[in-house]
Chains A and B, each alone.
Chain A
Amino acid sequence: MIKAVCGLLLRAFVVLSGATILTFALLWNAPGDPAQAIAMARFDALLTDEVVDQVRQEVGLDRSFWQAFWAWLGPLLTLDLGFSAVTGRPVWPDLAAAISYTFPLAFSSLAVGLAVSVPLALLATKRPGGWMDRLAVAAASLGNAIPAYWLGLILILLFSVKLAWLPALGASTPAHAILPALTLGLGVAASLTRIIRSGILEARGQPFLPAFRRRGIVEKSIGRDHVAPHAAIPVVTVLGLELAFLLEGLVLVEVIFGRPGLGTFLVQAILARDFAHVQAVVVLTALVFVAVNLAIDLTYRIVDPRIGESDA
């Protein structure tokens, strides 16, 4: 257990340091003058070189890369995310506001994904190779192939423009979250359906099941106690990858639907070269990844006790 925790901490350290250094370096070396971008975002106008130089000094861009990086990292070790180069406000309250929009959307999307994929996969596996199965596989393949930004626009066109049932832009009411959650959730559902379906079919082919039937164990118990746990193993693995897909999709979807979440927060920060904001999102994302991977590791050990056992 101690070994596992140490391994996890080491992994978290590698992920966090790698992600923060890499993003900082990318932002630092991106074409164009970061001080100019910050000044333009701050004053919303073209400015003289003196003003730009003043901004450069003020936000510390006149230092070397490592000096600037340590200047950001030092306060972070005391959980201080620093101040925005554009607004001058502390990062944390703005980041917290963005999180309050993004996390509920991420969970609703995952819920939509599970609500669609689990029944669809169960229906598909009732008769493998039947019309329902082929339809589900075709729908899942189509869902995987459709990019989130295209689906988002189609949903806006259908439900907001043509039918006028749902609002398209903003995040002022819960109804505003429906189309973004559907856009992301249907993408998640597509890949989950394929994985759950193949997981169930593979689990049904386990070599011990015929003997269980001859032992007189009823199909309901076989499905619940033996097929479902085996089918859950690949699903747990894929859920981690789904999170990556979700985070990637969230940025696009928030921009398309004009939602003030982490995606919009990040895009604006990158355009303005607001190092503190970008780094805050990177640290948060890396932490979420580490936490989710830990949760998956632990779930994995519960679902498949062969993992991490010494007497296997």
Chain B
Amino acid sequence: MTLNVTGLSAVRSGRTILHPTTLEIPPRSRIGLVGASGSGKSTLGHVLIDDLRARGYNVAHVPQSPDEALDPLRSMAFHWREAEMALGLATGSTDRVGLFRALKIEGGDMRKRPWGWSRGMQQRFVIAMALIGAPDLIVLDEPTSALDPVVAATTMDLLSVTLKDRNTAMLLITHDLGLAARRVDTLMVMDEGRLVERGRTEDILENPQTRAAKSLSAHRSWLALPC
């Protein structure tokens, strides 16, 4: 089912940081939301999640760093149980082993706290948690910026494979055009709280129309990064 949202906006301290925005997200789509820092990408992601959740959709969120997703005082097992319960699922009813195997974290000790796992494993655990209950959309907000390039690339590869057989759509928020170019088929460009350009990834990379898109695609050297 295609997810449609209209009129998403956000105002903070009397300043409009997200102008009314309309989005259409088909199932299984891979969309990249790019723009410079402070352009309103994360705000759009948050407002989108809140709007869809309020309308009863199952939307998962993967923040930038595992520190923003895991409580250092609670065990991994606690986080997993809590995520299951939040979705109204019985504890232990989800295919944790399958998800862990797909994301290659089956060796992680669930009794440990987040800091007992490596950063890469923590982030993959957060992604695994996000995939509980087959969400309609997974919003990844700069999911690899806290990881080194090799771990980042592996994590994104594993995510692509895991999503392959699912109907889940993916919205990848990033300022890293190199990451977006390899992982999404549609790009949306944001600038000063507005969605200024939308199109196929190759088209925007080859023939950007707006100032923001041109400025981003001018840095083609980014595309050489492994992720």
Contacts and interface: CB of A to CB of B under 8 A. Distances in A.
Contact of A208 (B59, B71, B113, B116): B71
B82 A306 contact: no
A210 interface: yes
Given A229-B73, A304-B73, A215 B83 contact: yes
B178 interface: no
A44 interface: no
A230 B86 CA distance: 21
15 contacts: A207-B68, A211-B63, A211-B68, A211-B69, A214-B59, A215-B82, A215-B83, A215-B86, A216-B53, A217-B86, A226-B73, A305-B73, A306-B115, A309-B116, A311-B116
B214 interface: no
Contacts of A226: 71, 73-74
Contact of A210 (B68, B72, B78): B68
A214 B73 contact: no
Interface in A260-303: 303
A312 B73 CA distance: 11
A206 B71 CA distance: 9
Contacts of A206: 71
Interface of B: 46, 49-50, 53, 59-61, 63, 67-74, 78, 82-83, 86-87, 112-113, 115-116, 129
A225 interface: yes
A300 B176 CA distance: 42
A234 to B, nearest CB: 14
A306 B86 CA distance: 26
B71 A214 contact: no
Contacts, number: 60
A221 interface: yes
B112 to A, nearest CB: 7
Given A215-B61, A216-B53, A306 B72 contact: yes
Contacts of B113: 305-306
Contacts of B83: 215, 217
B111 to A, nearest CB: 11
Nearest to A207: B68
A216 B68 contact: no
The 4 A-B pairs at the shortest CB distance, nearest first, are namely A216-B86, A214-B61, A211-B69, A217-B86
Contacts of A309: 116
B72 A214 contact: no
Contacts of B63: 210-211
Given A211-B63, A216-B86, A221-B82, 17 more contacts: A207-B68, A208-B67, A208-B68, A211-B61, A211-B68, A211-B69, A214-B59, A214-B61, A218-B86, A225-B78, A226-B71, A226-B74, A306-B73, A306-B113, A306-B115, A311-B115, A312-B115
Interface in A163-213: 206-208, 210-212
Contacts of A303: 73
Nearest to A233: B73
A207 B86 contact: no
Contacts of A305: 73, 113
Interface of A: 206-208, 210-212, 214-218, 221, 225-226, 229-230, 303-306, 309, 311-312
B69 A208 contact: yes
Contacts of B61: 211, 214-215
A55 B113 CA distance: 65
Contacts of A230: 73
A214 B46 contact: yes
Nearest to A304: B73
A304 to B, nearest CB: 6
B87 A207 contact: no
Nearest to A209: B71
Contacts of B70: 208
Nearest to B78: A225
Contacts of A208: 67-71
Contacts of A311: 112, 115-116
A225 B129 CA distance: 18
Contact of A217 (B68, B82, B112): B82
A218 B46 CA distance: 17
A218 B82 CA distance: 10
A311 B83 CA distance: 25
A94 B59 CA distance: 70
A232 to B, nearest CB: 10
A214 B46 CA distance: 8
A230 B72 CA distance: 10
Contacts of A312: 115-116
Nearest to A232: B73
A196 B111 CA distance: 29
B47 to A, nearest CB: 11
